[in-house]
Structure 1
Amino acid sequence: MSGPEAATAQTFFHGALARRLDRASRALLEPEDGRAVDFRRPAGEAALGQPTQVSWRIFKNPLTVFIGGMAAVILELAEPRVRTGVWEHTSFRKQPLRRLRRTGLAAMLTVYGPASAAQAMVAGVRRMHARVQGATPDGQPYRADDPDLLNWVQATAAYGFLQAYHAYAAPLSQAARDRYYREGETAASLYGATHPPTSEADLNAAFAAMLPRLEPSPITFEFLDIMRTTRIVPPVSRVLTPAAYLAQPMFVRAAVSLTPPEIRERLGLGASYGLRPFERTLLRQGGALADRIVLHSSPAVQSCQRLGLPADFLYTSR
């Protein structure tokens, strides 16, 4: 195949892949009523943060967002009060795909959505949290609106998304990582967190302080089994859907591999739960490719358009 023919074939392949990824990404974020959120409206309304923020670059990558979200849940479930609240008061166990869609849409609204929509969504989450309380199997009382637990949830989510992007898409400098944590303070405070990490050093200190409270649980392993076996990608493509389903166990191992070693050891997640060397290479290639493909129906692209920016604003070097 000649040079021009090869270039044409590569362009066609990337275009076809982008369309399939776009459909899959859109389907994953659709609410239960089937009405997708249009992040292009209302025109001109700012988000909670700015398009130049590190978080806007990170959350545009569907592969690392998926892996990072799983890593965050693994860390959340390590804390017994959070674990009991999540497992007893959410639909994750019985309807994992529905729960993933709601969580993913909430994350995208927080980062990219018009500020008014994001604030309304967060207010609804806080009303729901105010109704959730109970006790762990060993008698520890908990409330979903407890600032200590919200601090942990915010720290684990921030860590998971950042580390997945850093490890599997594009390495970030120390300055960029610290900036990312500072950028998240506004949204974290809206959710009710009182001391979210504002630097990587803060994050590490929060993990060290929480470590004595973390414990292994069969629920963590049940969660990993659900994520390995539930068909996450809707059937939008005869090519993409089977491939993604077969790759899910690798994505789960990628999430486990992001967990800090001392926490992995405490949870009993040994070497067999981690990535193999060739899988790490595949994920880095896939993450880097996903970071270059402009998904036109994604919240990241639509939000740039809402603000009068080019569709590829987050995909170009700055």
Structure 2
Amino acid sequence: MSLQNARSPLSLPPFIERRLDEAVLRLTRPADAGTIDFSVPAGEAALIAPDSISWKIFRNPVALFCGGVAAVILELAEPSVRTGVWEHSSFRRDPVRRLQRTGQAAMVTVYGPRSVSERMIAGVVRMHEHVSGETPGGVPYRANDVALLDWVQATATFGFATAYSRYVRPLDDAALSRVFAEARASAQLYGAAGAPGSVEEWRAMLDGMRGRLEPSPIVFEFLELMRTSPALPGPLRPLQRLMVRGAVELVPAWVRERLGLSDRDRASRAELAVLRRLGRSADRVLLPSSPAVQSCRRLGVPTTVLTRW
């Protein structure tokens, strides 16, 4: 895939740019967490290089939201992951805060200075050491089990990459494999030693999960929370519901069928066209407060690296 042609950024009126900046930051900045300055320390590299495909994917709010929700649907289809997430996280009590913390973790992992990323990931690993239990089916689980970590890492990479490919810019198998390869460094730090490094390895993993994935009312409870929680400002709430339907569309067909997700849960053809227009427009907007733009400043690289293909 050629990464040589840069598209010109989309200029927005200052008022609209500020409102968009605030809306995107709301997805990735928990109110009770300290602000992370991605512009310092000068010159410190991230886990992933600025010319990566990942740096392009994770700055797009449509890909971030749709891909993140699709990943969680796949995670909740696995009984051990589902039980751990639902019983040991704040999804049910405070879904917006959980969404924001997950978004912030993704930003730090992709764009943050390596020292900050490694420190954050080490904290997550320590927290997972205390998470264990038993599924309703009587199967014991540990959050730091490598097989479960592999699945969580794989579904996240699949979700974000597929959302970008579907709603922003098509990625061929070589590009998708590159995204999986780019995620390996952080996956290793999380303990996901067997996370797929290519799209072929992901497809093999997914096929091997046919005997494990199962339906659960929790999947539908999660989707309702994502549709109705105030993750976006009031005027953008219809867009939030649209992106949830767009996320369901990304889930592989046999998994949707296994989970009992119907056409009513998916985006229509007209809605998919709207998502593609939104995703492609968002890809040309360089918001000044975004971690991607701040990280370009930290590394002294032009922001055109974010739009160059």
Please give the alpha-carbon distance, in whole angstroms, between the structure 2 residues aligned to 1:253 and 1:104.
19
Please give the alpha-carbon distance, in whole angstroms, between the structure 2 residues aligned to 1:11 and 1:307.
24
User: 1:183-194 alignment to 2 at 5 Å?
Assistant: 183-194=182-193
Counterpart in the other structure of 2:22: 23
User: 1:29-40 alignment to 2 at 5 Å?
Assistant: 29-33=28-32, 35-40=34-39
User: 1:32-111 alignment to 2 at 5 Å?
Assistant: 32-33=31-32, 35-111=34-110
State the number of aligned residues: 300
Counterpart in the other structure of 1:313: 305
User: 1:136-215 alignment to 2 at 5 Å?
Assistant: 136-215=135-214
Q: Is the 8 A contact 2:29 2:103 kept in 1?
A: no
Asked if residue 303 in structure 1 is aligned to residue 302 in structure 2, the reply is no
Return the offset for 1:93: 0.5
Counterpart in the other structure of 1:253: 245
Q: Is the 8 A contact 2:26 2:231 kept in 1?
A: no
SS at match of 1:20: helix
SS at match of 2:159: helix
Please give the alpha-carbon distance, in whole angstroms, between the structure 1 residues aligned to 2:137 and 2:275.
40
Please give the alpha-carbon distance, in whole angstroms, between the structure 1 residues aligned to 2:294 and 2:12.
23
Please give the alpha-carbon distance, in whole angstroms, between the structure 1 residues aligned to 2:209 and 2:295.
36
AA aligned to 1:72 is A
Counterpart in the other structure of 2:112: 113
Return the offset for 1:20: 1.5
TM-score by length of 1: 0.91
Q: Which structure carries more relative contact order (alpha carbon 8 Å, separation 6+)?
A: 2
Q: Is the 8 A contact 1:296 1:311 kept in 2?
A: no
Return the offset for 1:11: 5.1
Please give the alpha-carbon distance, in whole angstroms, between the structure 1 residues aligned to 2:100 and 2:11.
31
2:269 to 270, 273, 277: 277
Return the offset for 1:271: 1.3
AA aligned to 1:299 is P
SS at match of 1:142: strand
How big is each residue's C-alpha offset from its partner over 1:149-180, in whole Å with a ceiling of 9 and x where there is no partner? 00000010000000000000111122211111
Q: Is the 8 A contact 2:169 2:280 kept in 1?
A: yes
Please give the alpha-carbon distance, in whole angstroms, between the structure 2 residues aligned to 1:256 and 1:43.
40
**CA pair 34-140 structure 1, distance change in 2 beyond 3 A:** closer
Asked if residue 132 in structure 1 is aligned to residue 131 in structure 2, the reply is yes
Q: Is the 8 A contact 1:29 1:36 kept in 2?
A: no
AA aligned to 2:169 is A
Q: Is the 8 A contact 1:302 1:311 kept in 2?
A: no
Counterpart in the other structure of 2:284: 292
Asked if residue 243 in structure 1 is aligned to residue 242 in structure 2, the reply is no
Q: Which runs of 5+ in 2 are unaligned?
A: 1-9
AA aligned to 1:160 is G
Larger radius of gyration: 1
Return the offset for 1:310: 2.1
SS at match of 1:213: coil
Q: Is the 8 A contact 2:51 2:305 kept in 1?
A: no
AA aligned to 2:219 is T
The ranges of structure 1 where at least 4 consecutive aligned residues each deviate by more than 4 angstroms after the TM superposition are: 10-13
Name the % identity. 52
